[in-house]
Homo-oligomer: A and B are copies of this chain.
Amino acid sequence: MFEVFLRSFNEKVPLTPEEETFLKQYLTPKKLRKKQYLLQEGDVCKHICLVEKGALKAYLVDDKGDEQITAFALEGWTIADLSSFFKQTPATLNIDALEDCELILISRPAHDELLERFPKYGNYIRMLITDAYVALQQRVVNTLHLSVDERYIAFQQMCESIFQRVPQHMIASFMGLSPETLSRVRSRLSGKK
């Protein structure tokens, strides 16, 4: 039920069995069917979500009604609209399931209580966000300063697991490209190697 989450936690901050039991009290398991929403634009993001199983995407909807994907989350990854969660403001992101999912949710009250009562949780969250920040910064640099071909290769190497499970046009959206361009990038690169 909590295996993936606890493994992720232990990798950053080792826990004793008693601590694991204590921590579990604050966690809410949830199942989500493919295409169901975890969060909709305009609602307040009430949980931080860790993926035990399945896959989700976070996205904005633009004027034309197109989805602009900002993030994917697979097993062991965390997803939420952090701005909405921390400031308790309406979310700008939508999050929904790409596959049937098993999730672990941490509510805002649980989060606050854990921070007070269980310092290791604060350490875990700090490390989680730090890692996310570093990854995002790399993404900014790649986006602004690499060619599309280089970005594709970089992204492919970093997130191979995503490529095998997510339709290509969503990868294109995530990279800020049209599906046609991504298709051409792929054929260009496969020709080369």
Contact = CB atoms under 8 A, between A and B. Distances in A.
How extensive is the interface on chain A, given as a class? 20 to 34
Interface of A: 60, 62, 68, 70, 82-83, 86, 115, 119, 122-123, 125-126, 129-130, 132-134, 136-137, 139-141, 143-145, 175-176
A176 B144 CA distance: 5
A63 to B, nearest CB: 10
As for how many copies of this chain the complex holds, the number is 2
A15 B38 CA distance: 37
Given A122-B122, A139-B140, A130 B82 contact: yes
A149 to B, nearest CB: 15
A89 to B, nearest CB: 11
A86 B136 contact: no
A45 B176 CA distance: 32
A68 B176 contact: no
A144 B86 contact: no
A145 B60 contact: yes
A5 to B, nearest CB: 19
